[in-house]
A and B are shown apart, each in its own frame.
Chain A
Amino acid sequence: MQALLLKIQDLLDIENISPDIDLKDFEEWDSLAMIALMSFIQKNYQADINLDILNECKNLQNIYEAIKKNSGGGG
């Protein structure tokens, strides 16, 4: 999940993010950032996370969990 962490930091333009920080605190967390993240997750984790799911994720930890749930069988 290191790649995910780096990608989110890049999209939100910040150096460090902890898994429990509220994403909505960041102005950069808009629909463009979400679509870019959706694309990234599909390419790198083969998980189909749509905009509705992302909108419900409060923080990075929620996103990790959503990916685990949606990446199909095994692990």
Chain B
Amino acid sequence: MNFKFYGKKISSVISILPKNESYFDDEMIRYNFPPKKSQILKELMGYNKHRISSQNQLASDFIIKGFEQLFEDKIIKPNEIDVLIYITQSPDYFVPQTSTIIQHKAGLKKDILCFDLNQGCTGFLHGLFQAFFMLENSEIQKVAIANSDVLSHKVNKKDRNSYPLIGDGGSITIVEKSQLQNEILCYNKVFGENALSIHIPAGGFKLPSTDKTAQDFEDKDGNIRNLNNLTMDGASVFSFVQESVPTMIESLLKNACITKEDIDFFIFHQPNKFMLQKLADKLTIPHQKMPNNIVENFGNGSGITIPLNLCFNFNQNFWDSPLKICFGGFGVGLTLSGIIMDIERISYLKLIDLED
């Protein structure tokens, strides 16, 4: 599905990460594999270290801290935020929505449009879609997109398939109307037939959590987890990405009437280094145009990998003129989202830690 907007800009991005850093080399001992095999996996996938939140850190804590910092740095005033879009798959409660808890704790105004959105890997792009829709309204000036997750709490520490790459954290992105009438090309596609390629079997209404669902078992590849844990079918997701992302990029480029050489950077969701390198090769784009260093430094924090990519790899002094960026998100759903837009200089790009 293709759609477009005009005249919107990203004005500030802040990323908030748990202070605690955990290393693959230290975690290896928990896996049911000889150390040599784990080393091969580490080298192949580009694992190194990741940020893991403590058990008492909630996803919402990262956003509340992020707003505190934005207000302290005088980037925005609390009552200027007309919309809060909170994107998470690790809410504080099923009921109520976590966004209203954030509204209160962060001191946002009561006259606000505020809601939760259940999205993961494509969460930042979905946040942008919603922000762009909202900003079409004359009464709405500034939108805050907040993404955060503490999915490590749902991944089994003995699961070598998933634990090495998971990461926690949050980000807040402020989006507003732009003077430049830049054209923003958007794409979205959904593959519900593969919905369970990435899922947590128990804990929802389909299969409530019980003592039984908490019992560990070994899967056919030797990874250990239980039904309350996140499980990912790596092979299925890999082929999904290799097949459908190039089609999406082609469609976006065609609608934008440009070629891939015109794109300055491909800022993609970061499942792991290996998948991104293979994708860059398939798309025949130079690796420098597709930063892929987020998982090896911080882990895959679901919806935050794109804003974190901006905060970590870019600098407000970096850009003189607008950069032509292609955003790409792919993953849980399975969902595929993309945006091509000119991004004017983002004047505030910050990365902070959240202490325990």
Residues of chain A at the chain B interface (Cβ within 8 Å): 11, 13, 28, 32-33, 35-36, 39
Cα–Cα distance between A36 and B37 once the two chains are bound (Å): 11
B44 touches A39 (CB 8 A): yes
The interface residues of chain B lying within 8 Å CB-to-CB of A36 are 40, 43-44
The interface residues of chain A lying within 8 Å CB-to-CB of B40 are 11, 32-33, 36
How many whole Å from B121's CB to the nearest CB in chain A? 22
Cα–Cα distance between A39 and B274 once the two chains are bound (Å): 9
Interface mask (B1-44 → A, CB under 8 Å = 1, otherwise 0): 00000000000000000000000000000000000110011011
The interface residues of chain B lying within 8 Å CB-to-CB of A32 are 37, 40-41, 44
Q: Tell me the chain B residues, 36-84 only, with Cβ under 8 Å from chain A.
A: 36-37, 40-41, 43-44
Cα–Cα distance between A32 and B37 once the two chains are bound (Å): 8
B43 touches A13 (CB 8 A): no
- The contact sample of 14 A-B pairs, CB cut-off 8 A, is A11-B40, A13-B36, A28-B37, A32-B37, A32-B40, A32-B41, A32-B44, A33-B40, A35-B44, A36-B40, A36-B43, A36-B44, A39-B44, A39-B274
Interface mask (B270-302 → A, CB under 8 Å = 1, otherwise 0): 000010000000000000000000000000000
Residue of B nearest to A43 (CB): B277
Most chain A Cβ neighbours within 10 Å, of B36, B40, B41, B274: B40
The interface residues of chain A lying within 8 Å CB-to-CB of B44 are 32, 35-36, 39
Residues of chain B at the chain A interface (Cβ within 8 Å): 36-37, 40-41, 43-44, 274
Cα–Cα distance between A11 and B43 once the two chains are bound (Å): 12
Cα–Cα distance between A43 and B139 once the two chains are bound (Å): 54
The interface residues of chain B lying within 8 Å CB-to-CB of A35 are 44
Residue of A nearest to B43 (CB): A36
Cα–Cα distance between A32 and B38 once the two chains are bound (Å): 10
The interface residues of chain B lying within 8 Å CB-to-CB of A13 are 36
How many whole Å from B353's CB to the nearest CB in chain A? 34
Cα–Cα distance between A35 and B41 once the two chains are bound (Å): 10
Beyond contacts A32-B44, A33-B40, A35-B44: 11 other A-B pairs, Cβ-Cβ < 8 A, are A11-B40, A13-B36, A28-B37, A32-B37, A32-B40, A32-B41, A36-B40, A36-B43, A36-B44, A39-B44, A39-B274
How many whole Å from B304's CB to the nearest CB in chain A? 27
Cα–Cα distance between A33 and B44 once the two chains are bound (Å): 10
Residue of A nearest to B278 (CB): A39
The interface residues of chain B lying within 8 Å CB-to-CB of A11 are 40
Residue of A nearest to B221 (CB): A31
Cα–Cα distance between A32 and B34 once the two chains are bound (Å): 13
Cα–Cα distance between A11 and B274 once the two chains are bound (Å): 18
Cα–Cα distance between A35 and B274 once the two chains are bound (Å): 10
Closest 7 CB pairs of A and B: A36-B44, A36-B40, A13-B36, A32-B40, A32-B41, A39-B44, A35-B44
Most chain A Cβ neighbours within 10 Å, of B37, B41, B43: B37
